[in-house]
Amino acid sequence: MNSSMNISDSEDKSEFVANLNAFRQIDFFSGISIEVMKLFSFLCQRQVYKDGDYIFRQDDDDGCSYYILSGKAKLVLEKKPKEYVIREYAAESYFGVLGLMTPMVKQFSLIAAQDTTCIVMTRKAFLKVVDQFPDTSFKIARSIGQKIMQAERKCILEFESKERDDLKNLLGISLI
């Protein structure tokens, strides 16, 4: 019985270390302390999705963020009667950080394009850590702002090079 407990403990430690390594790679968490990353790594959970399973659904607020450990998922905009595949996400993709900080209805669905394993963090777990380390939200908000600026720069370059009027509505998003 002891040996099975040791195997389980070893698996838990291995999963914890893998989760911690994943959080270290995520841009949004690059400015936070190792203690906070350890808490996130401990509080998040692994979820396995089969090919075709919904990871999350459009119009839901699941209050979660996702890091794909293995597999692939497709981001889908569902506008009846059509579905538009916007992009595919592969291993080491992270998304959903805004949904941790505030209620946010998903504008898209994410569907496993093959068997996919994700690290999932809930808003409740995130806020539990933020209550203990209040500067965490500010550091993550700074990273979000930087991502918005990068995306807007790409839109500006695309707009300038091809004079795409359809991009005008996206320009100025960094002024929010």
Our measurement of the distance from residue 121's CA atom to the centroid of its chain's CA atoms, rounded to an integer in Å, reads: 9
3-17, 22-36, 152-166: the lowest-pLDDT one = 3-17
What is the pLDDT at residue 3? 41
What is the pLDDT at residue 138? 85
User: Residue 9 above 70 pLDDT?
Assistant: no
**Mean predicted lDDT score pLDDT of the chain:** 88
Give dist(CA 21, CA 34) in Å, integer: 11
Give dist(CA 106, CA 118) in Å, integer: 17
pLDDT band at 36; cut points 50, 70, 90: very high
Which residues, in sequence order, are bridge partners of residue 68? 118
Helix (H) or strand (E) holding 88: strand 82-89
Sequence-ordered list of residues with C-beta below 8 angstroms from that of 109, at least 6 positions apart, any chain: 54, 56, 57, 58, 75, 76, 77, 78
What is the pLDDT at residue 69? 95
pLDDT band at 73; cut points 50, 70, 90: very high
Task: Give the CA angle between residues 110, 64, 119 to the nearest 5°.
Answer: 80
pLDDT band at 2; cut points 50, 70, 90: very low
Q: Which fold has domain 2-133?
A: Jelly Rolls (2.60.120)
pLDDT band at 68; cut points 50, 70, 90: very high
Residue 31 is which amino acid? G
Asked if 113 and 51 touch (Cβ cutoff 8 Å), the reply is yes
Give dist(CA 65, CA 69) in Å, integer: 13
Domain coordinates of the chain in residue numbers?
Answer: 2-133, 135-176
User: Residue 4 above 70 pLDDT?
Assistant: no
Residue recorded with tokens 């795409």: 164
Terminal alpha carbon distance of the chain: 58
Q: What is the pTM of this model?
A: 0.83
